[in-house]
Structure 1
Amino acid sequence: MEVIRVTVDQMVDEIFCSIVHVAAGYRSNDLRDWIETNNSMTLAGGPTNPVIESVPGVLRQEKGGAYTPSVVSIGPVHRGKLTSPEAIEESVKESTYMSSLFQRTGSNGGQTITKEGCEETLRPMANTLKACYPAVGQPEEDIVSIVTIDCCFIIELLYRHYTIQQRSDPILRDHLKSYAVRRDLLLLENQVPFSALEELFNLTVERFHPVEPTTAANRSQRRRPNISLTQCVLSFFGDMMGLKDGDISKKGGGSPIHILHLLHMCYKPWRIEHELGGGGVVIPRDQGHPCSYKPTAAQLKTAGVHLRKSERGNLFDLAFRSPFVINCRSGKLEIPRFSVSNITESFLRNLIAFEHCCPWVGSYFTSHALLIDILIDSVEDVKLFEEAKIIQNDLGSRDSVVQIFNGICRNADPHHFYYNKLFNTMEDFCTPQRAEMEIVKRNCAGNLWIKLSVFAASMLFFLTLLQTVYAMLSYHHPRKA
């Protein structure tokens, strides 16, 4: 059985190749200088000057509401622009959340942190914070103040959720409002720098949260709180794509720019072992835009390829399995299970916009969304996904799933589509003869008399063949009298 899988090595190679491709035309000894002077990437493939990117106009014009906050603005970009009656006022952030966080800092008898103390902590970062919002013309002091309030709001909200204090929180106890806040905190333009969040998290939570127990190993070291900002973020947002427990966790690869980038880092594959000797093969890296072969799930079924839920946990780990005897058995396209909810479209569109603005992070979500867009074109395709238990449809309507994925990548083609090899292999498998065989199999499966006729004809053919062989053997080797 041949197995075609998209490996992480392929994806990592593509990210580096995208950097080299952009630098085409430069002298080889100038490549390092070109990359180091580019303000959006380094030789390691990360940001030198993190920026809260603006959604490109070509993406916003498709569905602007997917990138605009509805109940809470974070950072200076959308501050004061919310018109919904459910919007959280800036005064509520200060009086309900920031003041509560400060009160906690003095709960153990220590000095209570103040807003001025937090601003003083962030003031050395003032130039960096202002540079994070190039489209905003506010003074540094105003940006420091805004970031301080929003960071404290996020930290207190995350801490209340992490320590199970939902009943006393006006956001967490309201399921719909909590859902809306989660959505808004994952918008590309509605972010604060993760470095500022970490500074204030360490300044505040470290003062009141229980610390690590003393052991022989850490007796001489400063004990840290047995909680981290990443833990709080992942606890609050959970698994946005409905994967199995334990399939989303912080991977290596540097510090995130913001919360949306952190979740991107958690979902993207970090290491997948090659199945050497186990049927798996390492496929060459794909190049360029998606191939011309773009079948829907229903068309694949007609051509002899059936969908099957992959038991592999990573969202991007797809595989195509072809049988040994091609004309006798169907191929299997294995896709990891994921869920579709009211927040899915906004989440995916902002991740796609993030990958569009920051090519060095790869085209993971763009490639996956485009693959699903290709496979799903009608409610019949969604039905096949549901029957294979690949999609958990929390929307209730199959037509809603079609509307989400159709055109989700319009104007946002991936820098490198990671599933070209997968489609090319399926194209080679889906021959006209295979389609005809599938038609015969379906007709036989639905009619008992056809099954009996095929069985009788097969037996007659076998017996005729056996008789012919026996006659030939008798002719060439006659029995002796």
Structure 2
Amino acid sequence: MGDENHGEEPGSGHITIDIRHWESESSGPIIYKIPRKLRKVNQSAYTPQLVSIGPFHYRNDLLSEMETVKSEYYYPSFLKRFDKKIKEDDLKKVIKDCSDDLRRSYEGIPAKLLGGDDDYKLFEEMILRDACFILELFLRNVSGCEQERKRDCILRIPWLRKAIKLDLILLENQIPFFVLRKVYQVVKEHLPPVRIPSSKSSCFSSTDQPHMVSLSCRCLFHNTSFTFCQVEKSSSHGQEKKAEADHDRDHICNKDPLLELTLYFFEEHYLTETCKRVKPQDINEIKHFTDLLREFWLPRKFISKMKPESITERKYLYSATKLDTAGVTFEPARKGTCLTDVKISKKKIILKFTPIIKGMRLKLPELKLENDTESLLRNVMALEQCLYPDEDYICGYVALMDQLINTGGDVEFLVDKKILTNLLGSHKEAAKLINGLCNQIPREKSYYARFYNELNTFYENRWNVTRATLKKVYFKDLWTGSSTVVGLFVLLFTVSATLKNVYFRHL
């Protein structure tokens, strides 16, 4: 990263200490300041609106109201759970022991967090308070006591709960996930019993939901002294199948109960149709919540087969409506497909050498455009630019959608095909959002370069455009096709009759 990424915005009055000299060959930053060029495009998409986590927005006057709430979550709420079995000094020691790794995790630490003796005590206290706030919020979210949830100042207000969740995903607003793990490992044996409401969804398919809710509760009970809610299982499955399924699922959940808590809290963002096939054991060791969101969007099978290719020669792709005029068929991918798992294929050809029935099929998973979509995509894209420059799958996917969508007409077309769900109201606004996401994102290579080449080549074959036009004009539906066939027969009979009359008249 350049020097421009290590400072605050002009006029903020903040000084940043560059800590790159602390890095070793085996580790480096995982949490970054948003590069200035990206931030200028849409600053609000990267800036927390309610709560500050980590050092980058610490003591921001606009976020000061939540500092009192965070302090109350930490003490007395979080520490009170352990009935004096866990002391504050025990938690401070956890943060102290990983202090070096913490400092290396951030691209730069503001000088306002330096202690008087330059030992980063203020930094460590801030990290501890933020970690305990997040864990306390997760624990309250799984509490079976509805009255407790109603009294909670965050969970009981829908808009506030949604806004906090979004703030916790922003790249600049992170603490490393390993910190949460270390604190959780210390306190898990002393947590009081709580319940996971059976009404909550799971990150598995809907047919497994009752089993998985019960399972999640059981695995948390075994690992964290949580009580679990019994969910009655369907008697249609044999007892033997139940026991086998329970064994497999217990094995899954027991691996990472903290990850279960995390997924449970962020279900609004993660547990959509696009992640039904993603299971906890499929998720790699995450670095923070922004990285977790990226994990859910990654097309694993696609990644294992594809390699990035240069798109310098074919940087531009024809729009969706133009490709449609050439006969490219746009189809929504099946439910449960990862967001970025785009597939292209040739239509089945009955007669190999008959070009009239050749075609191209493009399958795209559903993308839901709503108020939070821009912020979510921008932060994951910024993470890839900083941490995964050679594995920028999400950036490549967004660039592909940017090429397919140029106008509101393209959005309307993809909405009709059930590839886009536009909750922004205006198709023009949706097109503007998509077209602005790749601003200041360099695109030289792409995992979708093969798609660019095949689709452009298909469109530039003029016969495909002619064939598709004939099909849309004369065979767009049953009635139009029937009328066309009848008209052809009428024309044929008319021509035959005319030729017959002319021929016999000369005899």
Pick the TM interval, shorter chain: 0.7 to 0.9
SS at match of 2:310: coil
- In the alignment, what sits opposite 2:331? 308
Q: 1:160 aligns with which of 136, 140, 143?
A: 140
* Superposition deviation, residue 131 in structure 1: 2.9
Tell whether 2:264 aligns with 1:235.
yes
Q: Which residue of 1 aligns with 2:50?
A: 71
Residue 420 (structure 1) aligned to one of 449, 462, 478: 449
Q: Aligned equivalents of 1:177 and 1:301: distance in 2? A: 42
List aligned pairs for 1:393-404, cutoff 5 A: 393-404=422-433
Compute the RMSD of aligned alpha carbons.
3.4
Aligned length: 402
**Cα distance change of structure 1 residues 68 and 273 upon mapping to structure 2, 3 Å threshold:** closer
Alignment correspondent of 1:436: 466
Distance 2:292 2:24 in 1: 17
Question: Given the superposition, is the C-alpha separation of residues 83 and 429 from structure 1 closer, same or farther in structure 2, using an over 3 Å criterion?
Answer: same
Work out the CA distance in 1 between the residues paired with 2:57 and 2:303.
Answer: 43
Tell me, yes or no, if structure 1 residue 136 matches structure 2 residue 159. Answer: no
Is residue 90 from structure 1 mapped to residue 67 from structure 2 by the alignment? yes
Q: Offset of 1:422 from its aligned partner?
A: 1.0
Aligned partner of 2:205 in structure 1 is: none
Give the distance between the partners of 1:438 and 1:415, measured in 2 at CA.
32
Distance 2:161 2:408 in 1: 30
* Aligned counterparts of 2:153 and 2:302: Cα–Cα separation in 1: 42
Letter in 2 for 1:115: E
Gaps of 5+ in 1: 1-36, 219-223, 275-281, 463-481
- Which position in structure 2 is the counterpart of 1:205? 188
Q: Which structure carries more relative contact order (alpha carbon 8 Å, separation 6+)? A: 1
Structure 2 residue matching 1:306: 3-state secondary structure: strand
Q: Which residue of 2 aligns with 1:257?
A: 287
Q: Deviations over 1:288-309 (max 9, x none)?
A: 5582341111111111112100
Identical amino acids, percent of aligned pairs: 24
Secondary structure, aligned partner of 1:333: strand
Cα pair distance change 1:438/1:398, threshold 3 Å = same
The AA in structure 1 aligned to 2:190 is R
TM-score by length of 2: 0.71
Worse-matched range after superposition: 332-341 or 287-296: 287-296
- 1:396 and 1:41 map into 2 onto residues whose CA distance is 49
Aligned to 2:156: 173
User: Which residue in the other structure is 2:344 paired with?
Assistant: 320
Counterparts of 1:250 and 1:405, CA distance in 2: 30
Closer, same or farther: CA 283–199 of 1 in aligned 2, 3 Å: closer
Q: Does 1:120 align with 2:107?
A: no
CA contact (8 A) 1:308 1:333 kept: yes
Contact 1:356 1:414 (8 Å CA) reproduced: no
After TM superposition, give the deviation of residue 98 of structure 1 in Å. 4.4
Quote the offset at 1:99 in angstroms: 2.3
Distance 1:445 1:353, change over 3 A: same
Any idea what the Cα deviations from partners look like across 1:340-366, whole Å, max 9, x if unmatched?
221110010000000000135711110
Counterpart amino acid of residue 390 in structure 1: I
Name stretches of at least 5 consecutive residues in structure 2 with no aligned partner: 1-19, 115-119, 194-219, 226-246, 248-252, 497-507
8 A contact 1:67–1:187 mirrored in 2: yes
- C-alpha displacement of 1:411: 1.1
1:267-294 per-residue CA deviation (whole Å, 9 max, x = no partner) reads 32334699xxxxxxx6665235582341
Q: Distance in 2 between matches of 1:458 and 1:260?
A: 66
Residue-by-residue CA offset, 1:219-276 (whole Å, 9 max, x unaligned): xxxxx989722111211112636334523334557532211112222332334699xx
Do 1:211 and 1:226's aligned partners in 2 also have CA atoms closer than 8 Å?
A: no
Q: What secondary structure does 1:240 align onto?
A: helix
Aligned equivalents of 1:458 and 1:322: distance in 2? 34
- Cα distance in 2, alignment partners of residues 191 and 264 from structure 1: 14
Instruction: Supply the AA of the counterpart residue of 1:141.
Output: K
1:445 Cα deviation (Å)?
Answer: 3.5
Distance 1:103 1:126 in 2: 25
Q: 2:376 aligns with which of 332, 344, 347?
A: 347
Deviation at residue 127 of structure 1 after TM alignment: 2.2
CA distance in 2, matches of 1:93, 1:202: 21
- Which residue of structure 2 lines up, in the alignment, with residue 58 of structure 1? 37
AA in 1 matched with 2:140: R
Provide the rounded CA distance (Å) in 2 between the counterparts of 1:41 and 1:315: 35
C-alpha distance in structure 1 between counterparts of 2:317 and 2:52, whole Å:
39
Cα distance, 1:136 vs structure 2: 1.8
Q: Contact conserved, 2:307 with 2:447, CA < 8 A, in 1?
A: no
Q: Secondary structure at the match of 1:76?
A: coil
**Residues 59 and 411, structure 1, Cα contact 8 Å, conserved in 2:** yes
1:373-388 correspondence to structure 2 within 5 Å:
373-388=402-417
User: How high is the TM-score relative to the length of structure 1?
Assistant: 0.75
Deviation readout 1:62-98 (Å, 9 max, x if unpaired): 11111111000001110121426xx642121111454
